[in-house]
Structure formats: structure tokens, C-alpha cells
């Protein structure tokens, strides 16, 4: 029997709670998978010993820092900061190929509520989406991958300036550098290769930092979340293939 998921406490005061969400865990219980009886919200509530309030979300497949309000007022204030783009969000991603050393992707994206709607529907109108990135490392695995004699990938730091549905995953896919392990927007052949040769069993995307002004004290808060063990295991194995 699988052990129940757990979350690590990253930050707590009387107004806010931050935890490290593992990959595969929903923020809330979802009809998408009724077999998942535990969600991050419940685990955060148990950790705090009281009700907590959702401020933002992470995709189920994405691991990393997740912020909750200890009071509804703090949650509302922080949600406003996210909406006004006053929160700096930092991610780490492993993507296909050798991407540029730095760049900005600004392809407009349809929001989550606009998916599947007719193009003339107002919700289906693409919205501004901005993603900045810097390449941290580049790798060449000695396995042939068209059109190269090796399989290439890059570890990148990512700062989304907006919060559109699957923004990082969609932007890197549009740039022909899909995130490794992405079953929705990625390269299935590449995903299979990384799964079979490097043991990649998750989406290689991790939320590793949040920076914002405290909603009560107004002090600058920076929360760092090391990538999860299963993410680090892959990047450690790639070190021998650095270029």
C-alpha cells in the first residue's frame, strides 16, 4: 500500500502558511481523479492545526512552494497581489533541446475558462502572457535524437510575469522546447526516452520561490523551496552529460 502524501512546512506566521507540494498532489480534491482522497489544502490544514485559505494554485504535476492564508483577510490581500502581478514567481524546468541562454516568451494564451469554447466567444480571446527565462545548464546525453547524434536538454530558471493556464508548459512547447515529462503539451517520444533511460516519472517543473510584500507587516518576504527529491535525482544524473 502506498504511503499517504506529505508536505513540508516552509514558512508560517499568524497570517500566512507556505508548504512544499509534491508532484502528483492536487491543491483541492478534484473530480478529475476521485481515487485521490487527500489534497494539499487538507494537509496544510492539518499542519497548521486550523482552517487555511487558498491563495493561488499549482498544477497537480508541478511540485514546489504553495502559499495559504491563515486568515481569510490575509488570503484575500495576497490573492490581490497575485492578480496585480506583484508577486515574483520563480520556477525551475528541464526542457527539450538547448534553449537560448536567456529570453522572453510573450505568445498570448487562452485562459482556462476559454478552453474548448468557440473562437468568437469572449473567453476564447487569447490574453497577454509573459514568461522570462535564463538557461542554467545544458546537457547532451549520448543517445541519438533527431536531428542530433545526442539527446539534448536544458535546465532553465523561469519567471512567469502572468498566470495563465499551464503558461510555462505551453510557452516552452510553442518555442519547441517542451518541458520533459509533460504529457499534455510535451513530446511523447522524448518523454518515453527520459522515462526509460533516466527514470523520469514526473513533470520536470518545480516552483522554487516566491517573493512578495507581507499583507500585514508589508515586510519583503522571500520563500525558497528546493526542488523535490525526485526532481533532483534526475538533474544529478544529468551532471555527467553537461556541455
The CB density around residue 34, as the number of other CB atoms within 10 Å, is: 8
Distance from CA of residue 195 to its chain's centroid?
19
Torsion angle of C-alpha atoms 80, 86, 92, 96, degrees rounded to 10: 90
Pair 128, 104: CB distance under 8 Å = no
230 is catalytic: no
The CB density around residue 53, as the number of other CB atoms within 10 Å, is: 20
Dump the DSSP string for 183-212.
TTTS-HHHHHHHHHHH---S--EEEEEEEE
Interatomic CA distance for residues 52 and 49, integer angstroms: 9
Active-site residue among 33, 46, 51, 59? 59
Closest CA to 243 of 97, 81, 129, 69: 97
Dump the DSSP string for 56-105.
----TT-EEEEEEESSHHHHHHHHHHHHTT-SEEEEEEEEES---SEEEE
Active-site positions? 59
Amino acid at each position: 500500500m502506498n504511503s499517504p502524501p506529505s508536505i513540508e512546512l516552509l514558512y508560517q506566521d499568524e497570517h500566512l502558511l507556505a508548504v512544499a507540494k509534491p508532484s502528483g498532489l492536487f491543491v483541492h480534491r478534484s473530480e478529475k481523479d476521485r481515487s485521490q482522497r487527500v489534497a494539499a489544502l487538507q494537509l496544510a490544514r492539518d499542519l497548521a492545526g486550523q482552517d487555511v485559505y487558498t491563495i493561488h494554485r499549482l498544477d497537480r504535476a508541478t511540485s514546489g512552494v504553495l502559499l495559504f492564508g491563515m486568515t481569510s483577510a490575509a488570503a484575500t490581500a495576497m490573492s490581490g497581489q497575485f492578480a496585480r502581478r506583484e508577486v515574483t514567481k520563480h520556477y525551475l524546468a528541464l526542457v527539450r533541446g538547448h534553449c537560448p541562454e536567456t529570453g522572453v516568451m510573450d505568445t498570448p494564451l487562452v485562459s482556462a475558462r476559454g478552453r474548448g469554447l468557440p473562437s468568437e466567444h469572449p473567453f476564447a480571446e487569447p490574453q497577454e502572457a509573459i514568461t522570462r527565462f535564463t538557461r542554467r545548464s545544458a546537457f547532451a546525453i549520448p543517445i541519438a535524437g533527431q536531428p542530433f547524434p545526442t539527446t539534448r536538454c536544458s535546465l532553465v530558471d523561469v519567471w512567469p510575469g502572468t498566470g495563465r493556464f499551464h503558461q510555462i508548459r505551453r510557452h516552452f512547447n510553442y518555442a519547441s522546447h517542451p518541458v520533459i515529462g509533460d504529457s499534455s503539451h510535451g513530446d511523447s517520444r522524448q518523454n518515453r526516452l527520459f522515462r526509460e533511460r533516466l527514470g523520469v516519472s514526473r513533470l520536470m517543473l518545480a516552483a522554487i520561490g516566491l517573493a512578495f510584500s507581507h499583507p500585514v507587516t508589508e515586510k519583503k518576504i522571500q520563500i525558497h523551496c528546493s526542488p523535490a527529491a525526485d526532481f533532483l535525482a534526475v538533474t544529478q544524473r544529468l551532471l555527467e552529460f553537461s556541455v
